[in-house]
């Protein structure tokens, strides 16, 4: 990522195509099977927000404003060099952003159903996946065969298994890695050009962490309060809440959101027909845009037990109504199921509320003492 402009320019000059996507609902197996490069475009830095606000309302979600700001200014090389953008209807704000983007970039928007529980919705989503396959073949001049899909499924499933194994190391007390470093690893996966090399790097990091555990080496003190972070996607540039939690002495041992482990916990069923299996995996993503969203609650209950969580911090971006509403649902669920301490933090990408958040986090941790 050090010089993405030069890297992508060189790749494009070889004739390689690039696909950008904004959400974990975008089926990456189709991108890999099309023999093109795929990169995540969700922006997590404040610098592009003023450019985004020239078109979008100021009270919009910062993720959308930042994403649009980077796109409209050509400051994001991954957007600039993308041949096609895959969008999705996870929220009204992003739908309108994609509508504006279509004025200067080829954008295909996948239409999500309202729930992942209904067979009719599953059939609807499978058709959306088929539409995307046909579109990628037509627009990128490629052929996505069943054989290529099965190979892509194996590659990405192995990646998911490795990330799960990496996450298992965070069950140790003391933890061998900070939550901030764990986030960097998961974030870096969004910009991989050589998946074999990436898999080998993760294997080496797992070995390093296991050696640290065996030696008693740790990133945080033994007995540090163990925190699970959930809620909206957080990435490099918007990780201030995770940093504050760890600066206050607690250990972020699990990041549940879709920029964290949420995208890795479910594998594609390799025994099913490829497109059907891919559709099933991605539709089961427990995003707050789904109503109801019981899988998120079930997963949280299991994670709290498995990772011996002392407290849950739910991050909500200002203007993200679905996660804001669901925060109340999560709080009530945790109260009734083990009474795990819960803290919701509603914020944006700015640094103006850092001290306020720090005070709240300190009080939250003291309450657990």
8 A C-beta contact, residue 326 and residue 293: yes
In terms of C-beta density within 10 A (0-12 exposed, 13-18 middle, 19 or more buried), how is residue 211 classed?
A: exposed
Same fold for the pair 4-147 and 174-368: yes
Q: What is the pLDDT of residue 1?
A: 66
Q: Pairing between strand 37-40 and 84-88?
A: unpaired
In this prediction, residue 31 has a pLDDT band, given cuts at 50, 70 and 90, of very high
Q: Which of 143, 145, 136, 328 minimizes the C-alpha distance to 231?
A: 328
Residues 4-147, CATH architecture:
3-Layer(aba) Sandwich (3.40)
How confident is the model at residue 293, as a pLDDT? Answer: 97
**Structure confidence at residue 369 (pLDDT):** 74
> Under CATH, which number does the domain 174-368 receive?
3.40.50.11900
What residues contact 65, with CB distance under 8 A and at least 6 apart?
48, 49, 52, 53, 56
* Domain ranges (residues) in the chain: 4-147, 174-368
Measured CA angle at 244 (ends 293, 238), to 5 deg: 60
Summarised one tens digit per residue, pLDDT across range 319-367 is: 999 999 999 999 999 999 999 999 999 999 999 999 999 999 999 999 9
Query: What do you get for the CA distance between the two ends of the chain, in Å?
Result: 41
At residue 3 the predicted structure's pLDDT band, cuts being 50, 70 and 90, is confident
Res 2 pLDDT > 80: no
Mean pLDDT of 138-144: 96
pLDDT-based confidence at residue 223 (cuts at 50, 70, 90): very high
Cα-flanking dihedrals φ and ψ of residue 354, to 5°?
-60, -45
Tens digit of pLDDT for each residue in 78-132?
999 999 999 999 999 999 999 999 999 999 999 999 999 999 999 999 999 999 9
List of residues 6+ apart from 76 with CB closer than 8 A: 41, 43, 48, 70
């Amino acid at each position: 990522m050090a010089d993405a402009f030069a890297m992508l320019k060189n790749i494009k000059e070889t004739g390689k195509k690039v696909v950008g996507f904004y959400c974990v609902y975008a089926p990456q197996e189709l991108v890999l099977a099309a023999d093109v490069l795929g990169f995540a475009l969700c922006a997590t830095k404040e610098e592009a927000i003023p450019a985004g606000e020239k078109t979008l309302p100021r009270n919009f979600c910062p993720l959308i404003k930042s994403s649009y700001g980077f796109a409209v200014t050509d400051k994001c090389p991954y957007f600039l060099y993308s041949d096609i953008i895959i969008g999705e209807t996870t929220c009204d704000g992003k739908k309108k952003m994609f509508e504006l983007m279509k004025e200067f970039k080829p954008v295909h928007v996948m239409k999500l159903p309202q729930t992942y529980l209904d067979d009719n919705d599953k059939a609807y989503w499978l058709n959306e996946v088929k539409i995307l396959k046909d579109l990628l073949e037509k627009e990128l001049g490629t052929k996505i065969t069943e054989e290529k899909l099965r190979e892509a499924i194996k590659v990405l499933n192995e990646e998911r298994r490795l990330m799960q194994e990496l996450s298992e190391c965070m069950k140790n007390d003391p933890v061998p890695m900070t939550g901030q470093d764990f986030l960097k690893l998961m974030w870096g996966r969004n910009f991989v050009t050589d998946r074999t090399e990436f898999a080998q790097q993760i294997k080496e990091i797992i070995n390093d962490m296991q050696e640290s555990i065996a030696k008693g080496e740790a990133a945080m003190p033994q007995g540090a309060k163990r925190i699970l972070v959930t809620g909206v996607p957080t990435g490099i540039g918007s990780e201030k809440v995770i940093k504050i939690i760890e600066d206050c002495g607690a250990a972020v041992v699990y990041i549940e959101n879709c920029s964290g482990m949420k995208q890795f916990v479910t594998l594609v069923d390799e025994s099913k027909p490829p497109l059907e299996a891919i559709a099933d995996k991605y539709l089961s993503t427990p995003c707050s845009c789904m109503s109801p969203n019981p899988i998120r609650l079930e997963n949280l209950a299991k994670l709290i037990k498995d990772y011996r969580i002392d407290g849950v911090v739910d991050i909500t971006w200002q203007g993200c109504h679905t996660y804001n509403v669901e925060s109340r649902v999560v709080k009530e669920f945790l109260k009734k199921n083990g009474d795990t301490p819960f803290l919701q933090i509603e914020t944006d990408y700015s640094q103006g509320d850092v001290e306020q958040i720090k005070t709240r986090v300190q009080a939250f941790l003291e309450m657990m003492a």
